[in-house]
Structure 1
Amino acid sequence: MDFPVFLLALGAVARVTRFVNLDALAGPLRAWFIRRGGPESKLVTLVECPWCLSVWVAAAVVPLAFLYGHTLWFQIPATALTVSYLYGAAARFVET
């Protein structure tokens, strides 16, 4: 995996993890896990803990990056996720 593909994979993992952990649109998913397993369940910990979830997201993204990182099939969505994550991070500083 070359460095640009690594950076795209990193950005994709960061964005997907943040989406599941904190974004309002994923709130119903987190609520479903809480109803299903209770607030102290390991599944709830998984979806609410960025350290915990990022391992599993990376376990899915990294093999895709190794296998398909050179293709537009990987690069376009990974770029979109990375740009989204970077804008969200920058917006905290720019819009305050």
Structure 2
Amino acid sequence: MIDPDAAAEAWERYRRGEANAFSRRIYLGRGAQTFDEVRRRYRLDPEFHATIDRYVQEFERLLAELNRDNADETATQTYLNSETGMVYTMLAHASGRLG
């Protein structure tokens, strides 16, 4: 669903401060269609909206802990490149947190 190379590049650009680092080009195959559906449901379904917000907040809490405990970003990169991290990327992107 997500091109790992394109996602890694988007994360690098995002960390450098690029506001629109994430775009639909990170999605493969039906990934763009799934992104559109998640974004639509996020806007229309309050329960879905709340669930996504909780997931995103919890993942960001985990990333903050990793950053606090590790001098380098290796662990953070590992999490972001994992399947769970790809879910986070899509949900955070669809909810507007990543531009």
Calculate the TM-score normalised by the size of structure 2: 0.29
Calculate the TM-score normalised by the size of structure 1: 0.30
- Bigger Rg over Cα: 1
Q: Which has the higher contact order (CA 8 A, sep 6+)?
A: 1
More helix as a share of residues: 1
